[in-house]
Amino acid sequence: MNTKTSKLRHVSTGVGLLIGSTMFAFALLLLLEHIMVLKEVKMVSVPLVAKLAELERREDALREQVELSQIQAATKVGSLGEKLDINILPKETDFDRLIAAWDLYSDWLRNQGLVSEMSDITFGDPVILEEEGVTVRPMRVSYSAHEDGIKKLLIFTQLAGLLTVSDALTDEEIQILFESTEKENPVGIVALEQFLSSDLLRYSRDVRSYEEQLKRSFNSTEFANLLESVSEGSLLGGAYRIFGGEFGKTMSDGNLWPIQFMTLREVSMEEGGVEGWYRVGLEMLVWER
């Protein structure tokens, strides 16, 4: 009897161990499968999160560019008296000439793959600003554009009405150049003034010649490095990147330069159906006497 009971106990224990081992193995398989799922999710989600973060940073940078353009437009209006002194505003806007300049620029951006659609350019009724003795006329146009195309559109509006190199620089940037000149070679101020009064389009099409001529008045590389830093960080950089090639030549040959003085009034943006693309609307104020 004891022997039979002992055998039953051994069998029961073996069965229990077998069942336990089976359950442990099954649990281990589930754990391994869970780990693999987590690994796959991590492989997908981590790059996706990084990509979303990058897209958010790019969109934030683009919106900052829009805000900066609006601020620069406000500054442009703030120094309106000085701008009007050096600009000969037409009594009436030459619509054909203005539209031709924008169409040409839009074609240039389209050829670079930066815009795909452009609306018709429309103009609003003129508004008389009696205190300034001028009239402003709203101009509206919209695009389907890549973020890089939007940046170039904004630069184009900022360059409208600028005539000389100094017009594309802020007062602070001009002051930096004068201070550096006085420190290194006061006689070089004459060369600097000639440089600043140079035609912006001609400078943009032959940057090297204009800057090399100015650098001859200085012996050290300090001023040369400063000039490069100022030009790259200002509207000058945008000017020679836009007008430095075939587009600038076409503008000159077509007598479309200078672009009539205008300021950016409003920018609207909506995300497009493709990454990096937006529907952007621009409203400018065209200035006339």
Same domain for 192 and 228, yes or no, is yes
Per-residue model confidence (pLDDT) at position 130: 74
**pLDDT confidence tier of residue 215, bands split at 50, 70 and 90:** very high
Same domain for 85 and 157, yes or no, is yes
For the cut 90, the answer to whether the pLDDT of residue 10 exceeds it is no
For the cut 60, the answer to whether the pLDDT of residue 155 exceeds it is yes
For the cut 90, the answer to whether the pLDDT of residue 242 exceeds it is yes
Same domain for 158 and 195, yes or no, is no
Same domain for 223 and 208, yes or no, is yes
d(CA 185, CA 238): 29
Q: What is the mean pLDDT of residues 2-14?
A: 49
Instruction: Please enumerate in sequence order all residues whose Cβ is within 8 A of that of 43, keeping only pairs 6 or more positions apart, or say none.
Output: none
Same domain for 246 and 224, yes or no, is no
d(CA 179, CA 183): 6
Same domain for 219 and 102, yes or no, is no
Residue 12 lies in a domain: no
* DSSP secondary structure, 101-127, as one string: HHHHHHHHHHHTTSEEEEPPPEE---E
pLDDT in tens, 22-66: 555 455 455 555 445 444 544 444 444 444 455 555 555 556 555
Per-residue model confidence (pLDDT) at position 67: 58
Per-residue model confidence (pLDDT) at position 4: 46
Q: What is the DSSP letter of 199?
A: B
Same domain for 132 and 148, yes or no, is yes
Per-residue model confidence (pLDDT) at position 49: 42
**pLDDT confidence tier of residue 192, bands split at 50, 70 and 90:** very high
Write the CATH number for 129: 3.30.70.60
pTM across the whole model? 0.71
Per-residue model confidence (pLDDT) at position 37: 47
- Residue 87: closest CA among 259, 283, 243: 259
For the cut 80, the answer to whether the pLDDT of residue 131 exceeds it is no
Q: How many domains does the chain have?
A: 2
Tokens of 185: 């070679």
Same domain for 158 and 185, yes or no, is no
CA torsion through residues 167, 284, 149, 97, sign: negative
Q: For all residues of the chain together, what is the average pLDDT? A: 79
For the cut 60, the answer to whether the pLDDT of residue 220 exceeds it is yes
- Residue 62: closest CA among 287, 223, 280: 280
d(CA 257, CA 252): 6
- What is the phi/psi pair of residue 128, to 5°? -85, 125
Same domain for 156 and 243, yes or no, is yes
**pLDDT confidence tier of residue 78, bands split at 50, 70 and 90:** very low
Per-residue model confidence (pLDDT) at position 116: 92
Same domain for 115 and 222, yes or no, is no
Per-residue model confidence (pLDDT) at position 168: 93
pLDDT in tens, 14-30: 545 445 555 554 554 55
Tokens of 214: 């100015």
Domain extent at residue 207:
167-237
pLDDT in tens, 90-117: 778 899 999 999 999 999 999 999 999 9
CB 130 within 8 A of CB 235: no
